[in-house]
Homo-oligomer: A and B are copies of this chain.
Amino acid sequence: MAWIEPEIPAKPKNPLFLCVLSNTKTAHIPKLSAAGKTAELTDYTPAGDAELMETGNIISVPVLPMTPPYDTPTPAIMTRSALKLTGTPYHFVNSGLIVTPGVPCIDLKAKPGEDIREAIAVRDVQGIYERAKFLAKRLRDHTDHVVIGESIPGGTTTAKGVLSALGYDGNVSSSADENPLELKNRVVAEGLEASGLTFGSLKDDPMKAIACMGDPMMPAVVGLAAGFQEKGVKVVLGGGTQMAAVYALIKHLGINTENISIATTRYVVEDKSANFMELAKNLGVPVYVADPGFGKSTLKGLHRYEAGTIKEGAGAGGAMYLAGLHEISQDEFRSEVENVCKVLKAGE
């Protein structure tokens, strides 16, 4: 029984997983991001995700990998599980972190993103893009299939910002019980105004759309995709609306999209407050949808995914796609996720 749809390709020879970690001060706007106990604590979330993916626990940052009251775990547990089950080689990429993790990251020398209501949201977009492309060039002779995830709190708002600047309508997903859509819409409207932009006014200048309305994860993933594309390496963007925004940027830059697709979770696709599939269809990007079947789990925290509290992050959808490539079943995957949760809970 397939838990990833549509049917995924045959197992590649040399798969690779990359997770781009970034911060944007947009996440400091109160109540915008739920990826942290307070707005300021979201600074630690990507670093915590990386530590969890690498070690199965948090080793240096003050974050809660399980959110009370139900011990809802960060989606990084899914990525940890997939990496462990498949043994896929991986790296973390620091593209503008405020807080760096206690595990090694490949540094792209990016500054953290500013609040998109400032005139400039991302500095040195071209430099980040170029360094990411160098990285792809270094890696592309040794892989035929790359899955790229992201961890950046506030990232769905910057995604909406960039999509608006490029001329795409659409409500974005959220990692909260109630998607603060109205707040996000207001922040994006203020951001467009601060940069002197209107809806679609940057459809021919995607790099400027990143600089004015985006975040530092974007030029990193775009540069990676550009570098891999030159050698025909298959690229799967692991994520929801944020990766749709990245795909839109790639498309508007005129980069070949033939080998690029998106893999995300069922929870993003079923989010009624967002319109991910409509946007994907509009963009013409193939989408793989993974269902970890958390409803069958004995752990209450995992049920929160079924309730739509948390939907995606840290490349979880892409990581499940990787598990699928290795012919790991939904049951095996869920069982490993439960193990990871138990280790986390024990380490508290």
Most buried by B among A54, A103, A130: A103
Q: Does A254 contact B (CB under 8 A)?
A: no
A130-B89 Cα distance, complex, nearest whole Å: 20
* One of A131-139, A207-215, A291-299 contacting the partner: A131-139
Q: How far is the CB of A292 from chain B (nearest CB, A)?
A: 24
* One of A106-114, A269-277, A315-323 contacting the partner: A106-114
Q: Which secondary structure characterizes the binding site on chain A?
A: mixed
A106-B103 Cα distance, complex, nearest whole Å: 10
Q: In the complex, are the beta carbons of A104 and B100 less than 8 A apart?
A: no
Most buried by B among A87, A130, A138: A138
CB proximity to B under 8 Å, residues A119-157 = 127, 130-132, 134-135, 138-139, 141-142
A138 to chain B: which residues have CB within 8 Å? 54, 89-91, 104
Q: Does A29 contact B (CB under 8 A)?
A: no
Q: Does A94 contact B (CB under 8 A)?
A: yes
Q: How far is the CB of A50 from chain B (nearest CB, A)?
A: 11
Q: Does A105 contact B (CB under 8 A)?
A: yes
7 interchain residue pairs of minimum CB distance: A107-B107, A104-B135, A89-B142, A104-B106, A103-B134, A106-B106, A104-B131
Give A residues with C-beta under 8 Å from B.
54-55, 87, 89-91, 93-94, 100, 102-109, 127, 130-132, 134-135, 138-139, 141-142
In the assembled complex, 26 residue pairs joining A and B whose CB atoms fall closer than 8 Å, in A order, are: A54-B138, A87-B141, A89-B138, A89-B141, A89-B142, A90-B138, A91-B106, A93-B104, A100-B107, A102-B109, A102-B127, A102-B130, A102-B131, A103-B131, A103-B134, A104-B106, A104-B108, A104-B131, A104-B134, A104-B135, A104-B138, A105-B106, A105-B107, A106-B106, A106-B107, A107-B107
